[in-house]
């Protein structure tokens, strides 16, 4: 078990380090692009990518999750899934290319047709990297995954900015997206030791299908609902409004990426390995739940206080309309990663079928905001969207209690730890109505210090584990440095 712990810490360290550099690079690129391009162009690419993102789940129909969850994979298993993915990717590219005029007609914008046709190539690129990516995830080899993604993000971001500077407009965003898919796949093939053999077994495909089909159906629903906001809002509001919403939503996603994505990526293969050891399973799960809730509530507060200033300072005053949308969406950002964690915990137990059926209930709750979008404004949509995320969290807690015997009270304890400071912080910030940027910075720093102090006093498990892990990593690095001298 100590070996698994060391692998977990190493995997998390590499992934979080890479995520900091990758997201930092993406943020810098987004500054240049937001300055060179307008809200309407970001709205158009968001409209086109909505269909691309939904369709991408059809490449492997849940086999990636099945390969990680299964402990009986062979070379034939991996090769069979690889060729299945390539075939599916080619079919998806053809279908999407031919369907592009219908998508353009759906939005009433012929430019979307051309965008979708170009973006359909992403299916081909991604189909060649699914199995290698899954194997590295399963082996907790996040060093290779991090390095190739970092390099690909630098190359694609640079190409996107150059194209935008040359006046390519929205096609500079297309170039960035396609080049990232191409270079990340190319680099993955050069770093992965696994290569496919010319073997295909339908029996292996069928063996994994029992798990993967429900994982696939759940991901289809999830991908649809993730992009449903853009799909439907684009029918109700202008591309510029969709661009404002998309920019706000993208910034809010940073909370999820920095607070939890690395943990969740590592957690699924780890929990799958200990799924039959109940005490170890619960210990690891609640430790991760505590870490994510601690980080996400801290980041949510900071971004609520200074996020609007960041938007206007970096992206320019033309993005002013994004500010109120951003401040509402950021309230739900602390729950989104927790919902993802709970989803992965249930999947690691092999409960793909049950998760799919519960997913239908969760998605039904998520339909409520769109009723407000049709009859009211974008503001009301975002408010009800936030409320729906909290409702989903409580549903997930109940489901986990039923299928994994994970305590409801422990879940609520960690949730209330964050809300105990976050809600008063929001209310005080609005009451003070701070007009100066310097005073808002001081308020944000004060909130963070109080947040850390209170969590240290109550011995928050997430904070203690983070400090302990940092000390462990620091000790390992010091030993390596001393050994060199």
pTM: 0.58
Query: Which residue in this structure is represented by tokens 């430019």?
Result: 111
Q: What confidence score (pLDDT) does residue 45 get?
A: 79
Structural domain boundaries of the chain? 1-236, 238-485
Q: What confidence score (pLDDT) does residue 1 get?
A: 46
DSSP class per residue in 93-143: HHHHHHHHHHHHHHHT-HHHHHHHHHHTTHHHHHHTTHHHHHHHHHTT-HH
Q: Rounded distance, CA 295 to CA 383, Å?
A: 23
**Chain centroid to CA 48:** 19
Residue 6 sits at the vertex; the CA angle it makes with 4 and 7, to the nearest 5 degrees, is 65
Q: Rounded distance, CA 291 to CA 286, Å?
A: 8
Q: Where are the beta strands (DSSP E) in 329-374?
A: none
The CB-based long-range contact list for 391-396 (8 Å cut-off, 24+ gap) reads 391/365, 392/335, 392/339, 392/362, 392/365, 392/366, 393/335, 393/338, 393/339, 393/342, 395/358, 395/361, 395/362, 395/365, 396/338, 396/339, 396/342, 396/343, 396/362
Q: Which two tokens stand for residue 400?
A: 């986990």
Q: Which two tokens stand for residue 263?
A: 């943990």
Contacts of 373 (CB under 8 A, 6+ apart): 232, 233, 236, 380, 381
Q: Which two tokens stand for residue 335?
A: 């729950």
On whether the CB atoms of residues 403 and 350 are closer than 8 A, the answer is no
On whether the CB atoms of residues 355 and 343 are closer than 8 A, the answer is yes
Q: What confidence score (pLDDT) does residue 459 get?
A: 85
Per-10-residue mean pLDDT for the chain, 485 residues long?
Answer: 57 62 70 76 77 70 65 78 85 88 83 88 85 74 74 87 86 88 84 79 70 62 64 65 69 60 56 64 80 83 80 73 77 77 73 72 75 69 81 85 82 82 85 82 89 88 76 61 54
């Amino acid at each position: 078990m100590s070996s698994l712990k060391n692998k977990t810490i190493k995997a998390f360290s590499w992934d979080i380090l890479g995520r900091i550099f990758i997201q930092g690079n993406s943020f810098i690129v987004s500054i240049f692009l937001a300055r060179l391009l307008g809200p309407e162009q970001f709205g158009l690419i968001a409209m086109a990518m909505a269909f691309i993102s939904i369709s991408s789940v059809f490449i492997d129909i849940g086999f990636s999750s099945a390969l990680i969850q299964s402990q009986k994979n062979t070379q034939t298993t991996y090769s069979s899934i690889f060729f299945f993915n390539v075939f599916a990717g080619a079919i998806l590219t053809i279908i999407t290319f031919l369907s592009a005029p219908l998508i353009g007609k759906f939005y009433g914008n012929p430019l979307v047709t051309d965008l979708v046709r170009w973006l359909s190539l992403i299916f081909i690129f991604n189909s060649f990297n699914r199995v290698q990516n899954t194997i590295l995830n399963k082996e907790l080899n996040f060093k290779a995954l991090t390095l190739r993604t970092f390099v690909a993000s630098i190359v694609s971001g640079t190409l996107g900015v150059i194209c935008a500077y040359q006046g390519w407009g929205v096609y500079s965003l297309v170039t960035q997206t396609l080049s990232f898919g191409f270079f990340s796949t190319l680099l993955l093939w050069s770093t992965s030791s696994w290569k496919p053999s010319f073997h295909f077994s339908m029996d292996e495909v069928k063996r994994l299908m029992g798990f993967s089909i429900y994982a696939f159906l759940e991901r289809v629903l999830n991908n649809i609902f993730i992009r449903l906001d853009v799909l439907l809002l684009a029918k109700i509001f202008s591309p510029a409004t969709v661009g404002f919403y998309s920019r706000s939503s993208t910034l809010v996603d940073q909370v999820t990426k920095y607070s939890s994505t690395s943990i969740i990526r590592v957690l699924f293969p780890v929990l799958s390995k200990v799924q039959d050891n109940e005490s170890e399973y619960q210990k690891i799960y609640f430790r991760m739940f505590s870490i994510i809730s601690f980080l996400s509530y801290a980041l949510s507060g900071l971004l609520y206080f200074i996020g609007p200033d960041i938007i206007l300072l970096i992206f320019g005053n033309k993005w002013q309309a994004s500010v109120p949308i951003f401040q509402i969406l950021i309230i739900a950002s602390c729950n989104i990663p927790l919902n993802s964690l709970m989803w992965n915990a249930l999947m690691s137990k092999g409960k793909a079928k049950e998760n799919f059926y519960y997913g239908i209930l969760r998605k039904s709750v998520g339909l409520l905001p769109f009723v407000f979008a049709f009859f009211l404004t974008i503001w009301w949509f975002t408010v009800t969207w936030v409320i729906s995320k909290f409702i989903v969290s409580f549903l997930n807690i109940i489901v986990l209690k039923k299928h994994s015997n994970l305590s409801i009270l422990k879940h609520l304890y960690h949730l209330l730890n964050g809300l105990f400071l976050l809600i008063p912080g929001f209310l005080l910030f609005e009451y003070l109505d701070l007009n100066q940027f310097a005073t808002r910075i001081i308020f944000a720093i004060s909130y963070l210090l109080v947040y850390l102090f209170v969590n240290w006093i109550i011995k928050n498990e997430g904070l203690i584990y983070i400090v302990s892990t940092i000390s462990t990593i620091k000790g390992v690095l010091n030993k390596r440095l001393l050994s060199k001298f």
